[in-house]
Chains A and B, each alone.
Chain A
Amino acid sequence: QKEVEQDPGPLSVPEGAIVSLNCTYSNSAFQYFMWYRQYSRKGPELLMYTYSSGNKEDGRFTAQVDKSSKYISLFIRDSQPSDSATYLCAMSGGSQGNLIFGKGTKLSVKP
């Protein structure tokens, strides 16, 4: 079992839809959870950063962490064509330097 599992998609939605992106993980030591957005041929860009369980909201984006289920989600409200990108979940155990990434979900928002 991989440490982080993420459905690669592709996911295609109409403009204005609510998008739900998810990752599951196996390592209970993970405490820091991130979502990155990556446009084609660009580096990943940090969207959301959460510690431990709970919700965090930033504009149209909401990140949820459920440590008991080892499950994290990113919700995008009122999705826009500019949201079309690959979304990567990432997590770490704290003092461990590297991030463990999911493989990414490719999202396409159609006008």
Chain B
Amino acid sequence: GAGVSQSPSNKVTEKGKDVELRCDPISGHTALYWYRQSLGQGLEFLIYFQGNSAPDKSGLPSDRFSAERTGGSVSTLTIQRTQQEDSAVYLCASSPQPPPDTQYFGPGTRLTVL
């Protein structure tokens, strides 16, 4: 079946602009996760959704970052007033069940802030 999809695959923006990144999880998966992967830094957890609620937002680096999930499916990660240090690959993963179930990753969105 279809895997996790993310859009856009690449996004180039100017410093100070807002961006929205989209994640479509595997159909029926109740848990959804956002991670950020920076060069040389590994994967960094951002936020976890169970259904439409986010029990763990501990990884969001600042209040410029927010995320929502609607209908227990699609999720959007929004970064306001982007900074150059926000440049990274943003990865979404989903799981059939709550943690510690297996997480399946999408291809990521490569964000470049000029």
The answer to whether B102 touches A46, judged by C-beta atoms less than 8 angstroms apart, is: yes
The answer to whether B100 touches A46, judged by C-beta atoms less than 8 angstroms apart, is: no
Does B99 count as interface, using CB distance less than 8 angstroms?
Answer: yes
The answer to whether B107 touches A43, judged by C-beta atoms less than 8 angstroms apart, is: yes
With a CB–CB cut-off of 8 A, which chain A residues contact B114?
A: none
With a CB–CB cut-off of 8 A, which chain B residues contact A25?
A: none
Does B18 count as interface, using CB distance less than 8 angstroms?
Answer: no
Residues of B in contact (CB 8 Å), total 26
Does A96 count as interface, using CB distance less than 8 angstroms?
Answer: yes
The answer to whether A95 touches B42, judged by C-beta atoms less than 8 angstroms apart, is: no
With a CB–CB cut-off of 8 A, which chain B residues contact A42?
A: 107-108
B2-43: CB near A (< 8 Å → 1, else 0) gives: 001000000000000000000000000001010100001111
Known: A44-B91, A97-B55. A103 touches B100 (CB 8 A): no
The answer to whether A103 touches B41, judged by C-beta atoms less than 8 angstroms apart, is: yes
With a CB–CB cut-off of 8 A, which chain B residues contact A41?
A: 107, 110
Majority secondary structure, A binding face: loop
Known: A97-B55, A98-B59. A103 touches B42 (CB 8 A): yes
Q: Which residue of A lies closest to B4 (CB)?
A: A43
Does A94 count as interface, using CB distance less than 8 angstroms?
Answer: yes
The answer to whether A102 touches B42, judged by C-beta atoms less than 8 angstroms apart, is: yes
With a CB–CB cut-off of 8 A, which chain A residues contact B104?
A: 46
A37-70: CB near B (< 8 Å → 1, else 0) gives: 0000111111001000000000000000000000
Known: A43-B108, A46-B104. A103 touches B40 (CB 8 A): yes
Residues of B within 8 A of A (CB): 4, 31, 33, 35, 40-43, 45, 48, 50, 55-56, 59, 91, 98-100, 102-108, 110
Shortest 9 CB-CB distances between A and B: which pairs? A98-B45, A97-B48, A43-B105, A103-B42, A101-B43, A97-B99, A32-B100, A43-B107, A44-B105
Could you give 17 example pairs across A and B, Cβ below 8 Å? A42-B107, A43-B105, A44-B43, A44-B91, A88-B42, A88-B43, A90-B43, A92-B100, A94-B100, A97-B31, A97-B48, A97-B50, A97-B56, A98-B48, A98-B59, A99-B43, A101-B35
